[in-house]
Amino acid sequence: MTEDEFQRYAAASAAMIRRFAYRLCGDGHLADDLTQTTLAKLYAAWPRLGREVNVDAYARKVVLRTTMDETRRSFRKRETVVAELPPVSVSPAAVEDVLDVRAALVRLPPGQRAAVVLRYCADLSVAETSERLGCAEGTVKSQAAKGLAALREILTSDRAAA
């Protein structure tokens, strides 16, 4: 099947695909995104589709699978429209503290940094951290302890210097 045939199909079927996507997700903006993603996936598969394939049925299957993929993603959350923005809950001093910790983390050796980040930022257990890093649990404990001690030293010396 040719690219011209795809262009004609996309122009003729985009509205049908969007309606179907909207019925699945109930959100107009998400339906637009799903339509675009579906058309991109159809375009990639177009040369492999034979003339005997029911393209509309194939498109609906792509929309359905794309919708399921999109709704599974944790970063995709419904937004709520509000009249006013909520008050800022983070004080500027807290932001500066976070930036100081990030700068201090960069100064740690890679093993200590990895252990501290996985244990205390990603909130993994010693066993999970050990598995991720491919080392013994004792190594994780010692690297995390050394990393925390080094962080304390870096942060107190930086604050004393300021």
pTM of the prediction? Answer: 0.46
Sign of CA pseudo-dihedral 127, 129, 135, 141: negative
Per-residue pLDDT tens for 1-56? 788 999 999 999 999 999 998 888 878 888 899 999 999 999 999 988 888 888 99
| CATH T-level assignment (fold) for domain 92-161 | Arc Repressor Mutant, subunit A (1.10.10)
Per-residue pLDDT tens for 118-154? 898 888 899 999 998 999 999 999 999 999 999 999 9
113 within 8 A of 147, measured Cβ to Cβ: yes
Residues 6+ positions from 20 with CB-CB distance below 8 Å: 60, 63
| Domain ranges for the chain | 3-72, 92-161
Which one of 1.10.1740.10, 3.10.20.740, 1.20.1440.230, 3.20.20.70 gives the CATH number of domain 3-72? 1.10.1740.10
Alpha-helical (H) ranges within 1-117 are: 3-25, 28-45, 55-72, 92-107, 110-116
Cα 78 to its chain centre, rounded Å, is 15
Same fold, 3-72 and 92-161: no
Q: Which two tokens stand for residue 142?
A: 């010692």
Q: Rounded to whole angstroms, how far apart are CA atoms 35 and 3?
A: 18
